[in-house]
Amino acid sequence: QAMVAESGGGSVQPGGSLRLSCAASKNIFSLVTVEWYRQTPEKERELVASIDADGDIDYADFVRGRFSISMDRGEKMGYLQMNSLNPEDTAVYYCKMYIVTNIQRGFYWGQGTQVTVSS
């Protein structure tokens, strides 16, 4: 069973919205941080947004005002609400979580989910 798994990707027209979800394994002890990255074949993986246990949030300039990150520590879930999508947002989106289990702690990546924005 994967420690982290994304869902919610798909195809949408420009101006549309998608909500990505990131689920941590229910067997973990604590979810500390959630980060969303994206990557295309032409570019290196880049940070999109992050949130920590204190609720501190940061966004990349290219999504600020359009995307919203959130975290439900009780449900061990992370979310990325993406609005006003444009073709430049097309990428594979990855979730990265800092997780504490009963035997270890560290960062874990999901497998990625494709987001395609086109008319």
77-116 pLDDT, tens digit each:
999 999 999 999 999 999 999 999 988 899 999 999 999 9
21 — pLDDT class (breaks 50, 70, 90): very high
* Residue 29 pLDDT: 85
With 90 as the cut, is the pLDDT of residue 26 above it?
no
DSSP-derived pairing of the beta strands 105-109 and 113-117: unpaired
Q: Is 98 exposed, middle or buried (0-12, 13-18, 19+ CB in 10 A)?
A: middle
CA separation (Å) from 114 to 7, 21, 76? 9, 12, 22
With 80 as the cut, is the pLDDT of residue 45 above it?
yes
For residue 28, which of 71, 95, 79, 77 has the smallest C-alpha distance?
Answer: 77
